[in-house]
Amino acid sequence: MRAGRAAGDLAFRLGTGLFGLVLVLLVAAIGAELVRQSWLSIETFGLNFWRTSIWDPVAGEFGALPFIWGTLYSSMLALLLATPIALGIAVFISELCPNRLRPPLVFLTELLAAIPSIVYGLWGIFVLVPAVRAAETAFPQALKSLPFFSGPPFGLGMLSAALILAVMVIPFTSSIAREVLKSVPVAQREGAYALGATRFEAITAALYYARTGIVGAVLLGFGRALGETMAVTMVIGNSPKVTLSLFAPQHTMAAVLANEFSEAADDLYLNALIEIGLVLFVITLVVNSLSRLLIWSMARSERQAAATTVVPAAESAA
Amino acid sequence: MRPGTGRRKRISSVFVAFCAGSVLLALVPLAFVLFFVVSQGIQSLNVAFFTHMPAPVGEPGGGMANAIVGTLILVGLGGIFAVPIGIMSGIYMSEYAGTWLASLVRFAADTLNGVPSIVVGVFVYGIAVLPFRQFSALAGGLALGIMMIPIIARTTEELLLLVPGTMREGALALGATHARAVFTVVVPSAAQGIITGIVLAIARIAGETAPLLFTSLNNRFFSTTLTQPMSSLTVQVYSYASSPYQDWHRQAWAGALVLVAIVLTGSLLARFATRRLESLSPR
């Protein structure tokens, strides 16, 4: 009887464990399959694939520099716009707003994350892009000599993409930042107030205390921005160029996949596209893992700290 | 010299105003998107949208009946792939929380969650389209399923961890095996939450376009054949939005409205259910 029980428990453990293993295998399989399917391109071009910027499938020339540039540039810009706002939201919701206002505000910011990418894209094409075009046209001539604002006003381009990405990234960064702030011990803030700190001083102290997790939250938003596909594809103009200009149509790794994948006629072209997918996979994997690691190490050091303090941190449960 | 109290207070007020301003600033695009989707979408949303096939170019009217059915089938397929794997791996993560394999599974779930949806599409193209030289609804469903798995797994894990340990211990003390304790006591008490988690995952995944672009592709005709390309709301909205025709733009807005309604319903449902569940648990 005892033995039967132990066997049953073991079967349960193995059974559920196997399903868990499926997730691990899936991640490995994605990596392996992408390498396998892009091998032709990796072999043919080597590192030059990422150093050259001429993308001409007809002539068989594949340089992916403009795509990696567009992805990094648009995500960085989105991050610059989104981070202060996202942190402001996190601080407001977790530190400043009345308790009754909290649930609806959380819900509304999370709704931003729930709206499908394609809907943002549709809105981008018909509402945002015309507005951006008008703004670009009205832009003071004197500033147009700067590399950031050169070129004709298309509307479709880097600026529209960065704006829409920023909106889409804000909810991710702010919800993680909120959780991280929650894990800062209440005593830490009370101490600051007791010393006569203003709200700003107490909260910046809390933010400083939570800096590892905050960086993690920002990185998580970055990871989201890197992989975002539909909305960006629809507003960035899809033109492979390496330029600093915010007004210029550019391209991203995800967008070129969405645009050209089903048209890729020959093997080399398809392999080249899949290699772009592979690198996108690797970059997001690294960024996300780093971000998780930071958030996790913050949560862990917090638990250890909470275990040793006399005043139990009421809200420290992650 | 230390800044005076007045100045410190002013800085603090500016900071508070900035934070409140951020919230408003983020709500502006939300309001704008919802306003345009509703006001534009409602004009073309009628019964025909749900019951008719797409009209040819130049002909007004028509609907997205094939795309709506397609989305339902694709999401259903995704659920069939994802629900068992998601729930079982969620159970593993919560029941064996301290083990190295649980940590690895959790890491894999978070990684999978962060994989760009377009990359999932490329992966499924490689394993389920290329070998058969055929775009198919099955491939599309698989892609959606892969995206659902980590969401369901993590929700299940989190909800099971909310179940008081005393309930598990009570079942074990009564002589239940571990499996029995989990399946007859722990999982049922979190069942409502898990089901809502699945509803939320389905609602989110119904709005995905990128993983379908080169797996289930699109289909101008009504099709329920799983081995053939299948239309979906999102891909249809995408192709209409990038077309030059006014009529098709209107249809795209109507499609967007339906998508937003699906996601909104899912989110609201999940919100109320989790709130109820949290009020049940002791903390």
Q: How many Cα atoms sit within 13 Å of A43 on the Cβ side? A: 9
Nearest CB to B118 within list A11, A105, A258: A258
**What is the value of ipTM here, to two decimals?**
0.92
Give yes or no: residues A206 and A70 share one domain.
Answer: yes
If we measure between CA atoms, which residue out of A174, A187, A198 comes closest to residue A315? A187
Give yes or no: residues A182 and A277 share one domain.
Answer: yes
Question: Rounded to whole angstroms, what are the CA distances from A155 to A74, A248, A251, B52, B226?
Answer: 15, 9, 14, 35, 40
pLDDT of residue B1: 47
CATH code: domain of residue A114: 1.10.3720.10
Residues in B closer than 8 angstroms to A317, CB to CB, are: 283
CB pair distance less than 8 Å for B149 and A19 = no
Using DSSP's 3-state secondary structure scheme, residue A62 falls into strand
Percent of chain A exceeding pLDDT 90 equals 65
Distance CA A250, CA A260 (A): 15
Give yes or no: residues A180 and A284 share one domain.
Answer: yes
Residue with tokens 């659920």: B79
| Model confidence band, residue A311 (pLDDT cutoffs 50, 70, 90) | very low
| Most confident residue range from A167-171, A192-196, A239-243, B202-206 | A167-171
Structure token pair of residue A186: 């209440």
Structure token pair of residue B71: 């989305």
In the CATH scheme, what architecture does the domain B50-280 have? Answer: Orthogonal Bundle (1.10)
Q: What are the tens digits of pLDDT across the range A90-122? A: 999 999 989 899 989 998 998 999 999 999 999
**Count of domains observed in chain A:** 2
pLDDT of residue A3: 66
Under DSSP, the state recorded for B19 is H
CB pair distance less than 8 Å for A122 and B252 = yes
Q: What are the tens digits of pLDDT across the range A175-205? A: 999 999 988 888 888 889 999 899 999 999 9
Query: Which amino acid belongs to residue B260?
Result: V
Partners of A56 in beta bridges: A61
Distance CA B240, CA A114 (A): 22
DSSP-based helix, strand, coil % in chain B, nearest 5: 75, 0, 20
Q: What are the tens digits of pLDDT across the range A37-94? A: 999 999 999 888 988 899 988 888 899 999 999 999 999 999 999 999 999 999 999 9
Give yes or no: residues A43 and A24 share one domain.
Answer: no
Structure token pair of residue B197: 């988690």
Q: What are the tens digits of pLDDT across the range B197-233? A: 898 889 889 999 999 998 998 888 888 889 999 999 9
For residue A312, is pLDDT > 50?
no
Residues in A closer than 8 angstroms to B256, CB to CB, are: 116, 118-119, 122-123
The pLDDT of B260-269, averaged and rounded, is 87
Residue window 49-68, chain B: list those with CB within 8 Å of chain A: none
Residue window 86-105, chain B: list those with CB within 8 Å of chain A: 88-89, 91-93, 95-96, 101-102, 104-105
pLDDT of residue A157: 93
In a domain, A314, yes or no: no
Residues shown for chain A: 318
Residue with tokens 């989201």: A224
When scoring B12, B33, B94, B151 by the number of chain A Cβ atoms within 10 A, the one with the most, hence best to mutate, is: B33
Give yes or no: residues A8 and A152 share one domain.
Answer: no
Range of the domain at A268: 38-308
| Model confidence band, residue A316 (pLDDT cutoffs 50, 70, 90) | very low
| Model confidence band, residue A149 (pLDDT cutoffs 50, 70, 90) | confident
When scoring B13, B19, B30, B232 by the number of chain A Cβ atoms within 10 A, the one with the most, hence best to mutate, is: B19
Angle, to 10 degrees, between the axis of helix B137-162 and the axis of helix A2-37?
140
Q: What are the tens digits of pLDDT across the range B173-194? A: 998 888 989 999 999 988 888 8
Mean pLDDT rounded to a whole number for chain A: 89
pLDDT of residue B52: 87
Give yes or no: residues A6 and A62 share one domain.
Answer: no
pLDDT of residue A307: 60
Give yes or no: residues A14 and A78 share one domain.
Answer: no
Give yes or no: residues A24 and A146 share one domain.
Answer: no
If we measure between CA atoms, which residue out of B206, B211, B109, B104 comes closest to residue B156? B109
